[in-house]
Amino acid sequence: MSKIASPGASAANVNLRQIGKPLVRIDSPPKVYGTAVYAGDLTMPDMLYAAVLHSERASALLRRVDTARAKELAGVHCVLTAKDLPASQGVMTDMPGQTGGMTKNTKQPILAKDRVRFCGEPIALVAAESVSIAEQALSLIEIDYEDSEGVYDPVDALAPGAPIVFGDDNIVASYKVRKGDIDKGFAEADLIVENTFTTQYQEQAFLEPEAALAWVDEHEVLNIRSSTQVVEHYRAVADAIGLPHNRVRLRAEFVGGGFGGKEVMTIEVWLALLALASRRPVRLVQPRERSFLSHGPRHPFTMTHRTGVTSDGKITALQIKLTSDAGAYAKLSPYILLYATVGATGPYRVDNLQIDSVSAATNNLPTCAFRGFGTMQANLACEGQMEEIAKALGMDSMEVRRRNFIHTGDANVTGQIIRSAVWSDQCATQALAALGERPADTQTTRIGHGVACYQQSYGRIRWMKDSSEAWVGVEMDGTVIVRSAVTDIGAGQSSALAQITGEILGVPMGQVVVYFGDGAVTPLAGTSTASRALYMSGNATKMAASQVRENLLGCAARHFGVEVEELDMGDSQVFAIDDPQRSMTLNECVKLCAAEGIHRHNLAIFKAPTSEGIDPETGQGEVFPDFTYGAHAAQVAVDIETGEVRVLQS
């Protein structure tokens, strides 16, 4: 896409020294040189190695779990099953607040006790002197299953008389949207197009599998260093195993990919239990085949679109039904269904709309977050339907899109007014143009150009009342420190905070050190999920750095006998704008502040915009802080004899 022209820089961005510039990320050198530390690199003296026994059945009663032979194996220090844990303890997988109603009892137990609900549910934990001994111990654990009837299709799960996975029924969450007059809209249509689209499971397949090291320190604090997207899981770990929150410290290392798969707790609570039981450090790096069982893949969806359109391609009415497979436990399924519901119409304005969405429990692997968080599946159906509408009308699909794009100031699915820039048409047009001329077909190959547009929310749901904190300080030598508990999952979160701080305080990124991802000693910044990390922690860092700048410039202004507005900061100097030779170094300015007792640091909190939720009957209300829009084009070759598909350009 390098051939696509970017919109012109706004006047506010022209004079920026670092923001928007192609600078070397602060995390690049250690990653390139191989010195960056990931959770799987961690070791400690006297360390034990963990292994986890997962269920081989999808729906069964556990009649017997016998660990006697495993415990007798030389080198095994700890074997835990559900009977070793207090009955009240479990991993909370409910997400209260998503519908405004009471949550269902969908706790996933740390270890299965009386029954298993999916193939892969954890049953036992082992800690031993080596990985091989731990694996051998797993093979010695004897389990008697009594198979029970399960349900594996979400449509079947919603049918009367279906086996119940948990609760009173298999409905994990449901939403409905009612906007405009759907009957009037269909009456105005010249054509009605109806199609059903399905998506499958999709594994995140991050390069680094789940990895962590846990130990109890000299202060009786449980420490966990983990590959996670959320350091604030320390609270969930504490709640699950019965410890006070201040007795659990979770630290995130550089994360070798997450994509949503490390958004919920994975292996942290298992290691916490083993470390407490053995009183020794315990390490686990999940083998790839067990990694697939340790986190939830993308939700399969079935999506039906019934669209009324005029003969010139204008949508008059749209009826959508969405069904997702939540798997055996709720986890994030209610949230993901909401994202899919809000994203179901893509980047298009629909005035007469009806959406009914439901997420069903099954005896499949619990599904969870993956990039796009439900919007990907919904957008696939929406864009597929736009293509089918174009075919039915004999129109160019881009022209159909143009006649229906949402614009700044329009109301979206839930009635939320779009405030951001919407460049769907420009993006799609330039993306297609960047592909150039379509090559000629061959005898066995057909080549086509395709485009897809999207709408993606950013930030967490408004009624979660999201916030993020950051601390910025300047040392006596003029170097700068940023503290934020944001996790760096490979997207440059820590580097972005250094860039923001360097811009505001006028220092090179190389003079900024970012301490990140420690739930105990860095200000809590929330999750590295939902396209929120830079939006939230970046704004908090900007606020903190701006206050430090104000303090420093105020001190320098008094020293020079000028107004603050007459000074600027750059190249680690404070200088007069009209006379740059009239200056002092940043460390000189810092020492002046110290002498006057002026703060050289600041802790700031950024709060996202909030609302009180959507109307449960109409689905109307503000859901997200805002949305982004874009498009993607591809040139694809299909071998009509073998079915092979090759992407030639993208």
**Structural domains in the chain?**
40-148+209-294 (3.90.1170.50), 154-199+298-460+615-649 (3.30.365.10), 467-607 (3.30.365.10)
Q: What gap in Å lies between CA 245 and CA 403, rounded to an integer?
A: 54
Q: What is the H or E stretch that residue 70 is in?
A: helix 68-72
CA 419 to chain centre: 23
CA dihedral 285, 291, 293, 298 (to 10 degrees): 140
Angle, helix 375-393 to helix 333-342, in steps of 10 degrees? 30
* Residue the block writes with tokens 């998506």: 199
DSSP string, 308-341: EE-TTS-EEEEEEEEEEEEETS-TTHHHHHHHHH
Q: What gap in Å lies between CA 230 and CA 295, rounded to an integer?
A: 14
* Residue the block writes with tokens 């395709």: 450
pLDDT of residue 92: 60
Q: Name the token pair of 294.
A: 């340790």
CA 484 to chain centre: 18
What are the tens digits of pLDDT across the range 592-634? Answer: 999 999 999 999 999 999 998 999 999 999 999 999 999 999 9
pLDDT of residue 90: 66
Q: Name the token pair of 515.
A: 């301490």
- Of 120, 264, 116, 154, whose CA–CA distance to 204 is shortest? 264
pLDDT of residue 91: 67
Q: Name, in order, each residue with C-beta under 8 angstroms of 244's C-beta and a sequence gap of 6 or more.
A: 238
pLDDT of residue 96: 42
3 state SS of 232: coil
Sign (positive or negative) of CA dihedral 100, 105, 109, 112: negative
Q: Name the token pair of 421.
A: 């820039």
* Residue the block writes with tokens 């340790």: 294
| Residue 277 Rama label (left phi>0; alpha psi -120 to 50; beta) | alpha
3 state SS of 532: coil
Q: Are 164 and 330 in contact (CB under 8 A)?
A: no
pLDDT of residue 167: 80
pLDDT of residue 4: 46
pLDDT of residue 166: 86
Q: What gap in Å lies between CA 512 and CA 506, rounded to an integer?
A: 11
Q: What gap in Å lies between CA 469 and CA 443, rounded to an integer?
A: 61
Q: Name the token pair of 3.
A: 């051939």
Q: Which amino acid is at 539?
A: N
Q: Name, in order, each residue with C-beta under 8 angstroms of 476's C-beta and a sequence gap of 6 or more.
A: 587, 590, 591, 594
Q: What is the DSSP letter of 82?
A: G
Q: What gap in Å lies between CA 60 and CA 107, rounded to an integer?
A: 18
| Residue 647 Rama label (left phi>0; alpha psi -120 to 50; beta) | beta
Sign (positive or negative) of CA dihedral 285, 290, 292, 293: negative
Angle, helix 268-278 to helix 233-241, in steps of 10 degrees? 50
- Please give the order of strands across the beta sheet that includes 211-216: 76-80, 122-128, 48-54, 282-285, 211-216, 222-226, 248-252
List residues bridging with 173 in a β-sheet.
Answer: 359
Q: What gap in Å lies between CA 614 and CA 6, rounded to an integer?
A: 36
Q: What gap in Å lies between CA 127 and CA 90, rounded to an integer?
A: 20
Q: What gap in Å lies between CA 214 and CA 218, rounded to an integer?
A: 13
Q: What gap in Å lies between CA 444 and CA 638, rounded to an integer?
A: 8
Burial group, residue 207, by CB count within 10 angstroms (0-12, 13-18, 19+): exposed
DSSP string, 387-425: HHHHHHHT--HHHHHHTTB--TT-B-TTSPBP-S---HH
pLDDT of residue 106: 72
Neighbours of 411 (CB within 10 A): 15
Q: What gap in Å lies between CA 339 and CA 334, rounded to an integer?
A: 9
Burial group, residue 152, by CB count within 10 angstroms (0-12, 13-18, 19+): middle
Q: Are 68 and 76 in contact (CB under 8 A)?
A: no
Residue 3 φ then ψ, to 5°: -85, -5
Per-10-residue mean pLDDT of the chain, 650 residues long, equals 43 73 93 96 98 98 98 98 81 48 68 96 98 99 99 98 92 96 99 99 96 98 98 92 96 95 94 98 98 94 99 99 97 95 98 98 97 96 99 98 98 97 97 97 97 96 95 98 96 96 97 97 94 96 99 98 98 97 97 96 98 95 96 98 98
What are the tens digits of pLDDT across the range 195-238? Answer: 999 999 999 999 999 999 999 999 999 999 999 999 999 999 99
| Residue 374 Rama label (left phi>0; alpha psi -120 to 50; beta) | left
Q: What gap in Å lies between CA 525 and CA 605, rounded to an integer?
A: 9
